[in-house]
Structure formats: C-alpha cells, structure tokens
Amino acid sequence: MTPKVVVLRNHTEESMQKFLSIPGCRMVFAEGLKDIRPEDMPDTEILVGGVTPELCEKMPKLRFVQLFSAGANGYGWLPEHITLSNAYGAYGDSIAEHMITTTLMAMKRMPEYLKMQEREGWELLTDIDRFEGSKVLSVGMGAIGTSYLKKAYGLGALCYGVRRTIHDQPDFVTELVTTEGMDALLPEMDVVALSLPGTEEVKGMFDERRLRLMKKSAIIVNVGRGNAIVTEDLIRVMAEGHLKAACLDVMDPEPLPAGHPLWTTPRVYITPHISGGYRAGVNYERVVSAVIQNIELVLEGKPPVHIVDRKLGY
C-alpha cells in the first residue's frame, strides 16, 4: 500500500501543492495533533510536525517523524525504530542577523537614544563600542552560532567559540574550546552569545558566578534556551550595573508574564522569541524545502538528513 504522510500546521496553498506533488505517497494535512482523523492513524508511516507518546501508540506503522523546528529536546522517549529529524540549519542565518542587530543596538546604546527621542532630549551618550576589534564568544557552534560568528568576523570582530567537542574549527574563529575551557575566556570577551539547545547540561549554565566572570562592559545575547541563564541571577547582576546589556530573545519563564521584574531590569532588552520560527518568510520556505527533501529521501529508502540524537536532544 502507498505510504501515508501526515503533515501538521497550516500552510500556504503553494506549499501544500509542493507537498502534494511528492510522488509515491498519500498526503494528509491536519492543523494539529488533535486534528488528525482516527482513521488516518493506523497506516501513517511519516508524520511531519511532532508527535506525542499517546499518538505514537495509535500509529503502529510510524517510522519517521520530521520536525519543523531546530530544537528537538523532549523526544528521548521515542522508540528507536522511529527515525527523528529536525530542521537544523534552516533558521541559522535569520537568527544570526537578529543577534547582530541586537548586539549593535546595545553597543551603540540605541534603546537609550530612542527613549531620549520620546522626551525630545538632546545629549551625547558615552561608552559607545565598536564591533571592529571586539572579542565575541559564541557559546554553541551549530548553524546559528557559526553564522553569527561569520557575520561578526565580517564586521571586524575577533571570534571565539565553545562547543561540546572540538572539531571543524572555521578559519574565522581564533580559538575553539569545550565548555571546560569557557571560564578562562569569559573575562576577555566583549560579547557572549548563547545559541544552545535545551539539554540538561545547558540549564543554569550562566549563573551569577559565570555572569560575574564577564567584564562589566560586556554584552550577553541569548537566542537558544531561556533557562541557560539563571533569571534571578541576571536580574541581580544587571541591577548592580555589572554588564552593559543583556539582549534576550528567549527567557525563563516564557512567555514572560506581565509584572515580572525582568521587564524593568536596567539594560535588559527583550524580544518575544521572534528571531527564528516562521516570522521571517524566508525561514518558512527554507523549512518546507528541507522537510520535503527528507520526506522524499525516506520514501526512496534513503536516510534523511539531520537525524536527531535522542540522548543529546539535537
């Protein structure tokens, strides 16, 4: 029987036609997991968008799950006979551009100038930094962190990286270390940018001790997982004026509730988790293309790309 593929989420008419044009399968669309029809579950072989343990039990023929996201933590329970792939790489350049934007914004003190404009003020702010000649550390050297450093290097920064194991050091990176070597670099860095996956070892990585290892004039940027930074520690450190700025696209808790002290902590600049996802149209097209490529590979009996290591979560 022709393999059945279930694709979740709403899609443009153009993208739906691309899915429907994949040969050798029966394509079914559903807005969410709860919208999958019971009659479609028993013979579904490929599920695009995610899966739950309860749904997995109702899909005995399921052999491949494709995520729309780059993050893939939380799937350690998935049976080994089911292959899991993520959308690694599809968001890297877009998120890196957001990181460059917020880094420059903090370096040039643009939020303060915008507030000055609101009150029709006219004064010269000091302590303006340059990207050229600055030392930038990317904690996480996946598609996002690597793209960020490449762009930072293009602006004249000296680039450093942290990754779980030392391999594939780009020629624009001055030094690459493991997490064990990170503390020695932190006091030298002007910018520390986090693009880490949601693993247990990442949780609380930047606590008060590590935040205070950074220079008082340093900027921290986080686009990975909010719990990589201990929120209470960051509030304390920023309130004391230790860091120049914290640019957060992710935070803990998230969504950040109204009235939370992080909203009003000095020099903390918050965006509501908008650096990636489908908010930039180009991301959507890249993700759909990557997903379709993987469906075609699996249908041809070939291994998909970006298979997730369930133990690592990415």
| 306 in any annotated domain | no
How far is the CA of 16 from the CAs of 23, 88, 89, 288, 302, in angstroms? 14, 21, 22, 10, 23
pTM above 0.85, yes or no: yes
Please compute the mean of the pLDDT values over residues 30-36 and round it to a whole number. Answer: 96
**pLDDT for 285:** 86
Quick check: 196 pLDDT over 80? yes
Q: Which residues contact 265 (CB under 8 A, 6 or more apart)?
A: 234, 235, 238, 239, 246
**pLDDT for 168:** 85
Please compute the mean of the pLDDT values over residues 233-255 and round it to a whole number. Answer: 97
Considering the domain architecture, whether residues 137 and 215 belong to the same structural domain is answered as yes
How far is the CA of 116 from the CAs of 104, 113, 174, 241, 285, in angstroms? 18, 5, 38, 20, 39
Quick check: 140 pLDDT over 60? yes
In the DSSP assignment, the letter for residue 186 is: G
Specify the range with the lowest mean pLDDT, choosing from 7-11, 112-116, 241-245, 275-279: 275-279
Considering the domain architecture, whether residues 82 and 29 belong to the same structural domain is answered as yes
**pLDDT for 281:** 62
| 305 in any annotated domain | no
pLDDT-based confidence at residue 200 (cuts at 50, 70, 90): confident
**pLDDT for 310:** 78
Please compute the mean of the pLDDT values over residues 266-278 and round it to a whole number. Answer: 89
Specify the range with the lowest mean pLDDT, choosing from 69-83, 145-159, 216-230, 296-310: 69-83
| 224 in any annotated domain | yes
**pLDDT for 76:** 87
| 314 in any annotated domain | no
Please compute the mean of the pLDDT values over residues 136-150 and round it to a whole number. Answer: 96
The parent domain of residue 257 ranges over: 92-270
Number of neighbouring beta carbons within 10 Å of residue 164: 15
Q: How many structural domains is the chain composed of?
A: 2
Considering the domain architecture, whether residues 25 and 149 belong to the same structural domain is answered as no
Considering the domain architecture, whether residues 212 and 285 belong to the same structural domain is answered as no
**pLDDT for 313:** 73
Quick check: 279 pLDDT over 70? no
| 312 in any annotated domain | no
Please compute the mean of the pLDDT values over residues 292-299 and round it to a whole number. Answer: 97
Element (H, E) at 151: helix 143-154
**pLDDT for 282:** 65
**pLDDT for 126:** 92
CATH number of the domain where residue 208 is located: 3.40.50.720
